[in-house]
């Protein structure tokens, strides 16, 4: 069974203190779909303009990403430009051109409507709800969000939360949404808003998972070289969703613990090169080896 991914597809210009690259493949759905494709087939829903490079379409197809739901519109593809400061955690948006994405309305092909695991990548919560209106009883729904929607579409976001099984957001967004300084309290408050599970991303400090009265802290993989953090969170969400699909059956806290680790593994590879370039060369053996390192990092021995 595939995972359904709905979100943005973009052409990015990214500047770091040492490099700058233009017209890179980007967008939440791009990173999430490729991340998920390492574990399962993917049904992708998004929109691109007539300037979208054919090479990117071919890359999606090579990853067994079904493009029946990809809309092609006249005009320019959504474009984003951003600059990272020296810590590579602080990012400034230089420009946003919505272009064909401005009027994007996700329309699901008939074959997509019975998909069991759904990842609503980072788009407006009203559009995320529109996707769910077209679905036929999905088994597990994951939604991502960001500070923009908390600021300008909070009512729509709050209406969406009871309809999803899991919400993914970062630490600053969790605090913004709940007005709690403690992430533990923030996780509990978000769960009270509707989703059974909450994953709070903390960048280089890992991820927190809440649900079923339980708590799991996943470390971040220690990297020496980080080239481009863009899309790390979307890759994490895609890897998590794809792994859940690959396991089948009911989704519970134990399945999500490993899915969070697998998502973190994919995200750690993603930041090692600009755009999705590192994921182009990634192998199953690479993923398994780094998963084993994550597992060893989480073990400890008490010496008396």
Decide: 170 and 202 in contact? Cβ < 8 Å. Answer: yes
Decide: 274 and 82 in contact? Cβ < 8 Å. Answer: no
Per the CATH hierarchy, to which homologous superfamily does domain 3-146+226-297 belong?
Ribokinase (3.40.1190.20)
CA 166 to mean position of chain CA atoms = 12
* Cα gap 266→229, rounded to integer Å: 12
Q: Exposed, middle or buried: residue 153 (CB in 10 Å: 0-12, 13-18, 19+)?
A: middle
* Cα gap 233→29, rounded to integer Å: 11
Q: Exposed, middle or buried: residue 175 (CB in 10 Å: 0-12, 13-18, 19+)?
A: middle
**pLDDT (0 to 100) of residue 221:** 87
**pLDDT (0 to 100) of residue 297:** 78
SS3 state of residue 181: coil
Global pTM reads: 0.94
Residue 218's alpha-carbon distances to 18, 89, 275, in angstroms, are 30, 19, 24
* Cα gap 210→192, rounded to integer Å: 11
pLDDT profile of the chain (304 residues), mean per 10: 96 94 97 98 98 97 96 97 87 93 95 96 96 96 95 96 97 96 97 97 91 92 88 96 92 94 95 96 96 79 52
**pLDDT (0 to 100) of residue 300:** 53
* Cα gap 261→276, rounded to integer Å: 20
How many CB atoms lie under 10 A from the CB of residue 209? Answer: 23
């Amino acid at each position: 069974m595939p995972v359904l991914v709905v979100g943005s597809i973009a052409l990015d210009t990214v500047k770091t203190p040492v490099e700058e690259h233009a017209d890179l493949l980007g967008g939440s759905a791009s990173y999430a779909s490729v991340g998920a494709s390492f574990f399962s087939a993917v049904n992708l829903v998004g929109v691109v303009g007539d300037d979208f490079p054919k090479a990117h379409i071919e890359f999606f197809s090579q990853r067994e990403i079904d493009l029946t739901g990809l809309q092609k519109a006249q005009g320019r593809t959504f474009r984003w430009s951003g600059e990272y400061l020296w810590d590579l955690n602080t990012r400034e948006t230089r420009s946003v051109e919505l272009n064909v994405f401005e009027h994007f309305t996700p329309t699901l092909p008939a074959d997509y409507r019975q998909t069991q695991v759904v990842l609503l990548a980072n788009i407006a919560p009203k559009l995320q709800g529109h996707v769910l209106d077209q679905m036929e009883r999905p088994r597990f729904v994951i939604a991502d969000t960001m500070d923009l929607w908390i600021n300008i579409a909070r009512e729509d976001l709050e209406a969406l939360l009871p309809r999803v099984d899991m919400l993914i957001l970062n630490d600053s967004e969790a605090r913004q949404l709940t007005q709690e300084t403690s992430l533990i309290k923030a996780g509990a408050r978000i769960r009270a808003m509707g989703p059974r599970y909450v994953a709070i991303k903390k960048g280089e400090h890992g991820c927190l998972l809440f649900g079923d009265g339980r708590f799991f802290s996943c470390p971040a993989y220690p990297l020496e070289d980080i080239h481009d953090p863009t899309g790390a969170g979307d890759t994490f969400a895609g890897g998590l969703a794809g792994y859940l699909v690959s396991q089948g059956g009911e989704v519970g806290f134990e399945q999500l613990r490993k899915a969070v680790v697998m998502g973190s593994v994919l995200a750690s590879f993603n930041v090692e090169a600009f755009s999705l370039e590192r994921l182009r060369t990634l192998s199953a053996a690479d993923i398994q080896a780094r998963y084993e390192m994550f597992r060893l990092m989480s073990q400890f021995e008490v010496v008396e």
